Amino acid sequence: MKSLPKNYLLALIIFIGVLAWIASGFFKSETMDNSLEINNSETVEEKIAVRAKDIYGEDKTYFLTVRGRTEAEKRVLLRPKTSSTVIKTIDKGSFVKKGDIICSLDPENRSARLIEAEAGKNQAQLQYDAVKELFNEGYRSENALATAEAVLKGAIAREEIARNELSNIAINAPFDGFIEDVMVEIGDLMTPASTCAILLQLNPMIVAGEVTEKNVSQVSIGEDIIINFLNGNEIEGKLSYVSKSSSSSTRTYKIEASFENVSANIREGLTANIKIPLQNLKAHLVPSYLLSLDDDGNLGLKIVKNGTVKFVLIEIIEDTTEGLWVTGLPLNTRIITVGQEYVIDGQQVKVEIVNN
C-alpha cells in the first residue's frame, strides 16, 4: 500500500491534535460548570448562623409614669388688715414658725386708743357694780341696771376693737414655712390691698401632674407611689388628689402626690416623675437595639425555638438605663442577639448560645 506523503501525514497529526485539545477543553468546562452548580446548591442550602441568649421572665411591677413638677403645699400672700407705714420686715428666705412676725407697721395712735378704751371699760365696770349693788338693795330700778349693763358692754366692745386694731399692725405667719419674697421696704405705706411677703409651706410637699382620660380610672387617692427626680433621688409618697374634671384645652386630669420634705431640701418647681403601680406581671429585660418591626409595622423581637426563627409581638412597659422591660415573650426565651437583621420568621438557623 502506497504511504502518504510526509506533508499530508504531518497535517493529519496536527488536525487530530487540535481536535483532541478542543474536546478536552469542552469536557473540562462542563465538569467545572457542574461542580459550580453543586457548590452553589450547597451554599443555598447552608443555614445562617446566629447568636442567641437565654433570658427568663422576672416579677415586675407595671407603673404608670406621669411627668410633673413639685409645688408647695401652701402658698399665701401675707397682707395687713389695716393701713400704716412699714417699720420692720423679715429677711427674704428666712424660715419662720407659726405666729412669728413677718412685717410690723407703725402703731401711730392705736396704743393711745387702747389705753382710752381700757379706761372707759374700767369706769363702766365700776358704775355697773355700784348700780347692781343698789339694785339688789332696792334703791335702783331694773331699767337703771339695764342701762349700766349696756354702757359696760359698749365699753368692753370698744376695748376689743382698739386691741384688735393695735394687733393688726403685726403681720404674723399662719404656719411654719419659708419666706419666698418680701414685697415691701421700710417706710412703704401699706393698705389691706398691699402684700407684705409670700410664705411657702414646703413640708409636706406635693408633685402635680396630669393623666389622660384613658388612665384616670386606674388611679385612686391614697395609693402608695414613687417619685423620681432628675438627679436620681427617689422618695415615697401618697396620691392625695385626683381631679373630677378635665382640662378644657388638654382633656387631661390633674393629680397630686404628697410627700414628706422635713429638711426642705426639695425645692418648688423641680421636675419629677410620679410612678403609680398598676399591676404585677412577668417581664423580660432586653436591649433596645434588638427591637424590630414586622411587615405591618408591629413591634417585636426575634427568638429561636427548636432551631426556627419566630417573630414575637411585645409591649414595652418601662424604659430604663439598663434596657427595656417588655411583655409578650414566653417565660423562658432564647432571644437572637446577633444576626437578627438577616433572618425572618420561620427560617431555620444554626444557633450559637452566648452566656452574656
Q: Which of 168, 195, 219 is the last residue of a domain?
A: 168
- Longest Cα–Cα distance of the chain, Å, equals 196
β-sheet bridge partners, residue 84: 190
Structural domain count, the chain:
2
pLDDT confidence band for 1 (50 / 70 / 90):
very low
pLDDT confidence band for 320 (50 / 70 / 90):
confident
Chain mean position to CA 191 = 41
Instruction: Assess whether 56 and 111 both reside in one domain.
Output: no
**What average pLDDT does range 196-219 have in this prediction?**
93
pLDDT confidence band for 20 (50 / 70 / 90):
low
Instruction: Assess whether 343 and 285 both reside in one domain.
Output: yes
228 has a pLDDT exceeding 50? yes
pLDDT attached to residue 180: 94
Q: Which of 168, 186, 202 is the last residue of a domain?
A: 168
pLDDT attached to residue 278: 85
Tell me, yes or no, whether 286 lies in a domain.
Answer: yes
pLDDT attached to residue 199: 96
- Indicate the helix (H) or strand (E) that contains 147: helix 142-167
Instruction: Assess whether 55 and 113 both reside in one domain.
Output: no
CATH number of the domain where residue 340 is located: 2.40.420.20
Range of the domain at 164: 107-168
89 has a pLDDT exceeding 80? yes
pLDDT attached to residue 14: 73
Tell me, yes or no, whether 324 lies in a domain.
Answer: yes
356 has a pLDDT exceeding 70? no
Tell me, yes or no, whether 333 lies in a domain.
Answer: yes
pLDDT confidence band for 27 (50 / 70 / 90):
very low
**What average pLDDT does range 189-194 have in this prediction?**
95
Tell me, yes or no, whether 139 lies in a domain.
Answer: yes
Tell me, yes or no, whether 142 lies in a domain.
Answer: yes
Tell me, yes or no, whether 319 lies in a domain.
Answer: yes
Instruction: Assess whether 349 and 292 both reside in one domain.
Output: yes
Instruction: Assess whether 346 and 285 both reside in one domain.
Output: yes
pLDDT attached to residue 42: 47
Three-state DSSP at 272 gives strand
Tell me, yes or no, whether 208 lies in a domain.
Answer: no
CATH number of the domain where residue 160 is located: 1.10.287
Category of 332 on φ-ψ map: left (φ > 0), alpha (ψ -120 to 50) or beta? beta
Contact in structure between 102 and 172 (CB atoms under 8 Å): yes
pLDDT confidence band for 248 (50 / 70 / 90):
confident
**What average pLDDT does range 115-144 have in this prediction?**
93
Buried b (16+ CB within 10 A) or exposed e, 46-69: eeeebebbebebeebebbbebebe
pLDDT attached to residue 311: 93
pLDDT confidence band for 47 (50 / 70 / 90):
confident
Check residues 339 and 68 and name the one with the higher pLDDT: 68
pTM > 0.75: yes or no = no
179 has a pLDDT exceeding 90? yes
The number of CA neighbours under 13 Å toward the Cβ of 56 is 3
Tell me, yes or no, whether 205 lies in a domain.
Answer: no
Q: Which of 147, 168, 189 is the last residue of a domain?
A: 168
pLDDT confidence band for 18 (50 / 70 / 90):
low
User: In 124-262, which ranges are E strands?
Assistant: 170-172, 177-182, 189-190, 197-212, 224-229, 234-242, 252-259
